[in-house]
Structure 1
């Protein structure tokens, strides 16, 4: 039998200069500045609400709702932070969310993410996804984590392929994005497939590749 799930919130995960931490109300100015810089970069990939006028209206309301769902055990809403400055102070570089978390016979979750365009292609998102996946499997005792992405999103596809997520098929008109219902490709991993840890496997493969003679 798997170990009993241990869910607590808030939770911060760290690996080197990378942190996954909860949202704070004090993040508002930094968050909106980051979003403004990346508006066009993210527009094609981010989920939208098909019901006009619905959803949260303020940053404080968003943070409250995210932390409520996290405390209820139905999500893990993190900001991706990097220690990039000379003083080591973490700055917000993106977001990673595990939602919804389903218990019962499924014991599974879906994961989504985005990164500041200036940090894209630096291995930050694969590391963050691996760190979060290991937490889901070891601390929450989940059995399965899935990632759904638009077929056109080559950058996100590289993330799941680097980490060894299995392609499971296409979901027609799966999510509302950029004004319409969009197809998504589904990728997944189960806990037995990475029994020694996804982050350890990913970093081991990166190290092996780096040592391969060119």
Structure 2
């Protein structure tokens, strides 16, 4: 039986220096370096299995992360992107974005999760990446709705969705076990109709960014 690719995958998405692409096995060392260097920046917001941060984010651990990503992409349950910056002719890994928990049929929805290297935070990398991913999800990906759940204390992550005009939709009490306790999350959402008339979310983001100079 011939394998049928999930809608919208694989894909490479680009806007200026920001590139979203599928992960490669060769990303292991760069992924590990970024994750280990950003422990204080990332660990308060992430759920993880028992083990030290260095162990869970080693090049060897990336093999299991990569295998899980490939499996979710192959089954159509996720679109896991490596977020890269292309500068001076070189491309480097700077973050991660996943459109996950994808449900088709009457829902056509998914959840977006992301992280970025603190050394490039504030440069518009993640708003651009999210806008690219949402437009792709609403287009070739065949989704109608995307959601993002963020802890109230995670100000940098909230700024990303607020800049893009995501709608604050819900407050989830004790939503996920993170950093040793059950944590509340704010639910943000967006549907295709909210950005279609503007030419997509990336076009909206360009206008917002340009208006700020």
Alpha-carbon distance between aligned partners in 2 of 1:69 and 1:209, rounded to the nearest angstrom:
38
Match of 2:86 among 83, 87, 100: 83
Q: How many angstroms apart in 2 are the aligned matches of 1:138 and 1:48?
A: 32
What is the CA distance between 1:77 and its match in structure 2?
0.7
Q: What TM-score results when the alignment is normalised by the length of structure 2?
A: 0.88
Task: Give the TM-score of the pair, scaled to structure 1.
Answer: 0.88
Find the aligned partners of 2:209 and 2:10 in 1 and give their Cα distance: 31
Residue number in structure 1 paired with 2:9: 9
- Secondary structure, counterpart of 1:44 in structure 2: helix
Q: In the superposition, relative to structure 1, how do residues 209 and 8 fare at CA in structure 2: closer, same or farther (>3 Å)? A: closer
Decide whether the 8 Å contact of 1:79 with 1:96 is kept in 2: yes
Choose from 64, 67, 71 the match for 1:68: 71
Runs of at least 4 residues off by over 6 Å = none
Structure 2 SS opposite 1:11: coil
Tell me the SS of whatever aligns to 1:14.
strand
Say whether the 8 Å CA contact 1:48–1:176 is kept in structure 2: no
> Counterpart in 2 of 1:25?
25
Shift of 1:209: 3.4
| Structure 1 residue 15 displacement after superposition | 1.1
Counterpart in the other structure of 2:155: 154
Which secondary structure does the structure 1 equivalent of 2:163 belong to?
Answer: helix
Q: Where in structure 2 are the equivalents of 1:159-170 lying within 5 Å?
A: 159-170=160-171
Q: Which whole-Å CA distance do the structure 1 matches of 2:134 and 2:205 have between them? A: 12
Give the unaligned 5+ runs of structure 1. Answer: none
Q: Provide the rounded CA distance (Å) in 2 between the counterparts of 1:151 and 1:79.
A: 26
RMSD of aligned C-alpha atoms?
1.9
Q: Which runs of 5+ in 2 are unaligned?
A: none
Q: Any idea what the Cα deviations from partners look like across 1:176-196, whole Å, max 9, x if unmatched? A: 211221110000000000002
Match of 2:124 in 1: 123
Contact 2:8-2:142 within 8 A present in 1 as well: no
Measured against aligned partners, the alpha-carbon deviations of 1:64-112 in whole angstroms (never above 9, x if no partner) come to 221121021100111110013x3x1210101111111111211111001
C-alpha separation in 1, matches of 2:102 and 2:205? 24
